Amino acid sequence: MAYAAYREHPGAPRTRASMNTGKGNDSPFYVLDVTVCCADALRVRRSIAGCPEAGVVRCEPLLHACSSQESDAPCVRLMIRLPLARYADVLHRLIECVPSGEIGRLVSWREHLARCGLRHGH
């Protein structure tokens, strides 16, 4: 089993997810980036769908080979939305259902929306 953790993606600013409580305008959700081989993506999506309050919100095919993967197979980046309380459950499901992958940063929902082009994260 091979996993690489916390790899920064090109062009992603280095910031930390604030541990807010979800009060006010902030969402209690976070987004975790995970990179897996295309062949494993469906298995990950199905496993995450079984985790309460978590789900894959975006699937991006990567055009370059993943340097930390064991093979040169095409990869996808899955963006998984989850409450902080489900973080361990999501990681357990990932490790259980696919042999290798890359676990990226955990960012707030607002930061994820801003990263996707919504200026104020709304």
* Model confidence pLDDT, tens digit, residues 18-69: 444 445 456 789 999 999 999 999 999 999 999 999 999 999 998 765 545 4
Provide the mean pLDDT of the chain.
78
Q: Which of 2-6, 53-57, 62-66, 95-99 has the highest mean pLDDT?
A: 53-57
For residue 73, the one-letter residue type is A
> What DSSP string describes 5-69?
E-PPPTT----------S-TT--SEEEEEEEEEHHHHHHHHHHHHTSTT-EEEEEEEESS--TTS
Domains and CATH numbers, the chain: 31-115 (3.30.70.260)
- The secondary element (H helix, E strand) that includes residue 114 is helix 109-115
pTM above 0.85, yes or no: no
